[in-house]
Structure 1
Amino acid sequence: MAVDDADDGFHEVIALDDLRAEGRTLTAIDGTPIAVFHHEDEVRAVNNRCPHMGFPLTEGSVEEGVLTCHWHHARFELSCGDTFDPWADDVDTYPVEVRDGTVYVAPEPRRSEPPAAHWRTRLDDGLEQNLRLVLAKSAVGLLDNGVDSTEVVGRGVRFGVRNRADGWSSGLTILVALANRLPDLDDDDRKRALYQGLTEVAGDCAGEPPKFDQEAFDATGTSFDRLLSWFRENVEVRDADGAERVLRTAVAAGYGPEELTELLVTAATDHRYLDTGHAFDFVNKATEALDLVGWDDDERTADVLASLVRGLATAERAEESSSWRQPIDLAAMCDERFDRLDAMVADGEGETWTEPADFTERLLADDPETVFDALEEAIRAGASVEDLASAVSFAAVTRVARFATSNEFADWNTVHHTFTFANAVERAAERTDATALYRGVVDAAVNVYLDRFLNTPPAPTPTGDPDADPETALEELRLAFEQQGQVEQAASAVADFLAADGDPERLKAALGNALLVEDTNFHTFQAYEAACRQADRRDDNAERRTCLVAAARYMAAHYPTRRSREQTFSIAARLLRGERVDGADGGTAADGASVAETDG
Structure 2
Amino acid sequence: MAVDDTPAFHEAVALDDLREDGRSLTAVDGTPIALFYHEGEVRAVNNRCPHMGFPLTEGTVEEGVLTCHWHHARFELSCGDTFDPWADDVDTYPVEVRDGTVYVSPEPRRSEPPAAHWRSRLDDGLEQDLRLVLAKSAVGLLGAGVEPREVVDRGVRFGVRNRADGWSSGLTILVALANRLPDLDEQDRKRALYQGLTEVAGDCAGEPPKFDQEAFDATDVAFDRLLAWFRENVEVRDADGAERVLRTAVAAGYGPEKLTELLVTAATDHRYLDSGHAFDFVNKATEALDLVGWDDAERTADVLASLVRGLATAARAEETSSWRQPVDLAAMCDATFDRLDDLVAAGEGEQWTEPDDFTDRLLADDPEAVFDALEGAIRGGAGVEELARAVSFAAATRVARFATSNEFADWNTVHHTFTYANAVERAAERTETTALYRGVVDAAVNVYLDRFLNTPPAPEPTGDPDADPDDALEQLRLAFEQQGKVEAAAGAVADFLAAGGDPERLKAELGNALSVEDTNFHTFQAYEAACRQSDARDDPAERRTCLVAAARYMAAHYPTRRSREQTFSIAARLLRGERVDGADGEAAAEPADD
Q: TM-score range by the shorter chain?
A: over 0.9
Instruction: State the shift of 1:322 in Å.
Output: 0.2
Separation of aligned partners in 1, 2:111 and 2:159: 28
Q: Equivalent residue for 1:596?
A: none
- What one-letter code is carried by the residue in structure 2 that aligns with 1:5? A
Separation of aligned partners in 2, 1:34 and 1:185: 37
Instruction: State the shift of 1:585 in Å.
Output: 2.1
Separation of aligned partners in 2, 1:451 and 1:585: 55
Answer yes or no: is the 8 Å Cα contact 2:47–2:57 preserved in 1: yes
Provide the secondary structure at the position in 2 that maps to 1:217.
coil
Provide the secondary structure at the position in 1 that maps to 2:402.
coil
In structure 2, runs of 5+ residues without a counterpart are: 589-594
Q: Equivalent residue for 2:11?
A: 12
Answer yes or no: is the 8 Å Cα contact 1:579–1:586 preserved in 2: no
- What one-letter code is carried by the residue in structure 1 that aligns with 2:25? L
Deviations 1:344-377 (A, max 9, x none): 0011111111001100000000000000000000
Provide the secondary structure at the position in 2 that maps to 1:352.
coil
Equivalence map 1:259-298=2 (5 Å): 259-298=258-297
Deviations 1:573-600 (A, max 9, x none): 00000000012225799xxxxxxxxxxx
Q: Equivalent residue for 1:592?
A: none
Q: Equivalent residue for 1:75?
A: 74
Q: Equivalent residue for 1:536?
A: 535
Answer yes or no: is the 8 Å Cα contact 1:123–1:138 preserved in 2: yes
Answer yes or no: is the 8 Å Cα contact 1:360–1:391 preserved in 2: yes
Deviations 1:113-132 (A, max 9, x none): 21100000000000000000
Provide the secondary structure at the position in 1 that maps to 2:34.
strand
Q: Equivalent residue for 1:222?
A: 221
Separation of aligned partners in 1, 2:584 and 2:268: 59
Equivalence map 1:31-50=2 (5 Å): 31-50=30-49
Separation of aligned partners in 2, 1:111 and 1:404: 60
Separation of aligned partners in 1, 2:270 and 2:98: 79
Separation of aligned partners in 2, 1:433 and 1:456: 36
Separation of aligned partners in 2, 1:354 and 1:280: 27
Separation of aligned partners in 2, 1:199 and 1:245: 31
Q: Equivalent residue for 2:205?
A: 206
Separation of aligned partners in 2, 1:59 and 1:231: 63
Q: Equivalent residue for 2:170?
A: 171
Q: Equivalent residue for 2:405?
A: 406
Q: Equivalent residue for 2:117?
A: 118
Deviations 1:524-566 (A, max 9, x none): 0000000000000010000000000000000000000000000
Deviations 1:252-295 (A, max 9, x none): 00000000000000000000000000000000000000000000
Separation of aligned partners in 2, 1:313 and 1:324: 20
Separation of aligned partners in 2, 1:339 and 1:364: 24
Q: Equivalent residue for 2:419?
A: 420
Separation of aligned partners in 2, 1:433 and 1:219: 27
Higher relative contact order (CA 8 A, sep 6+): 1
Separation of aligned partners in 1, 2:220 and 2:361: 47
Q: Equivalent residue for 1:573?
A: 572
Answer yes or no: is the 8 Å Cα contact 2:115–2:146 preserved in 1: yes
Separation of aligned partners in 2, 1:353 and 1:548: 27
Separation of aligned partners in 2, 1:128 and 1:207: 10
Query: Normalising to structure 2: TM-score of the pair?
Result: 0.98
Provide the secondary structure at the position in 1 that maps to 2:290.
helix
Separation of aligned partners in 2, 1:247 and 1:168: 15
Separation of aligned partners in 1, 2:11 and 2:204: 49
Q: Equivalent residue for 1:377?
A: 376
Q: 1:586 to 1:511 in 2, by over 3 A?
A: farther
Separation of aligned partners in 1, 2:368 and 2:587: 68
Q: Equivalent residue for 2:302?
A: 303
Q: Equivalent residue for 1:597?
A: none
- What one-letter code is carried by the residue in structure 2 that aligns with 1:228? L
Provide the secondary structure at the position in 1 that maps to 2:45.
strand
Q: Equivalent residue for 2:497?
A: 498
Equivalence map 1:43-122=2 (5 Å): 43-122=42-121
Instruction: State the shift of 1:442 in Å.
Output: 0.1
Instruction: State the shift of 1:230 in Å.
Output: 0.1
Separation of aligned partners in 1, 2:114 and 2:90: 13
Separation of aligned partners in 1, 2:219 and 2:236: 25
Deviations 1:282-341 (A, max 9, x none): 000000000000000000000000000000000000000000000000000000110110
Instruction: State the shift of 1:107 in Å.
Output: 1.6
Separation of aligned partners in 1, 2:491 and 2:383: 35
Provide the secondary structure at the position in 1 that maps to 2:444.
helix
- What one-letter code is carried by the residue in structure 2 that aligns with 1:509? A
Q: Equivalent residue for 1:452?
A: 451
In structure 1, runs of 5+ residues without a counterpart are: 590-600
Q: 1:391 to 1:318 in 2, by over 3 A?
A: same
- What one-letter code is carried by the residue in structure 2 that aligns with 1:583? G
Separation of aligned partners in 1, 2:139 and 2:345: 53
Answer yes or no: is the 8 Å Cα contact 2:400–2:458 preserved in 1: yes
Equivalence map 1:127-138=2 (5 Å): 127-138=126-137
Separation of aligned partners in 2, 1:41 and 1:57: 19
Answer yes or no: is the 8 Å Cα contact 1:130–1:202 preserved in 2: yes
Answer yes or no: is the 8 Å Cα contact 1:578–1:588 preserved in 2: no
Q: Equivalent residue for 2:592?
A: none
Equivalence map 1:128-167=2 (5 Å): 128-167=127-166
Instruction: State the shift of 1:16 in Å.
Output: 0.8
Separation of aligned partners in 2, 1:587 and 1:149: 32
- What one-letter code is carried by the residue in structure 1 that aligns with 2:275? T
Separation of aligned partners in 2, 1:445 and 1:236: 23
Q: Equivalent residue for 2:591?
A: none
- What one-letter code is carried by the residue in structure 2 that aligns with 1:415? V
Separation of aligned partners in 2, 1:95 and 1:220: 58
Separation of aligned partners in 2, 1:430 and 1:310: 25
Q: Equivalent residue for 2:313?
A: 314
Provide the secondary structure at the position in 1 that maps to 2:8.
coil
Deviations 1:425-446 (A, max 9, x none): 0000000010100000000000
Instruction: State the shift of 1:5 in Å.
Output: 2.5
Answer yes or no: is the 8 Å Cα contact 1:425–1:437 preserved in 2: yes
Answer yes or no: is the 8 Å Cα contact 1:251–1:301 preserved in 2: yes
Provide the secondary structure at the position in 2 that maps to 1:94.
coil
Which has the higher mean CA deviation after the structures are superposed, 31-40 or 287-296? 31-40
Answer yes or no: is the 8 Å Cα contact 1:579–1:587 preserved in 2: no
Residues 1:360 and 2:387 aligned together: no
* Identity rate, percent: 88
Separation of aligned partners in 1, 2:264 and 2:530: 22
Separation of aligned partners in 1, 2:60 and 2:236: 62
Q: Equivalent residue for 1:183?
A: 182
Instruction: State the shift of 1:112 in Å.
Output: 3.9
Instruction: State the shift of 1:111 in Å.
Output: 2.2
Q: 1:70 to 1:213 in 2, by over 3 A?
A: same
Query: Normalising to structure 1: TM-score of the pair?
Result: 0.97
- What one-letter code is carried by the residue in structure 1 that aligns with 2:179? N
Separation of aligned partners in 2, 1:374 and 1:239: 37
Q: Equivalent residue for 2:521?
A: 522
Answer yes or no: is the 8 Å Cα contact 2:73–2:83 preserved in 1: yes
Instruction: State the shift of 1:163 in Å.
Output: 0.0
- What one-letter code is carried by the residue in structure 1 that aligns with 2:82? T
Separation of aligned partners in 1, 2:139 and 2:331: 53
Deviations 1:171-210 (A, max 9, x none): 0000000000000000000000000000000000000000
Answer yes or no: is the 8 Å Cα contact 2:581–2:587 preserved in 1: no
Deviations 1:27-49 (A, max 9, x none): 11111111000001110100000
Answer yes or no: is the 8 Å Cα contact 2:516–2:565 preserved in 1: yes
Answer yes or no: is the 8 Å Cα contact 1:579–1:588 preserved in 2: no
Provide the secondary structure at the position in 2 that maps to 1:93.
coil
Separation of aligned partners in 1, 2:365 and 2:3: 85
Instruction: State the shift of 1:12 in Å.
Output: 0.3
Separation of aligned partners in 2, 1:220 and 1:22: 73
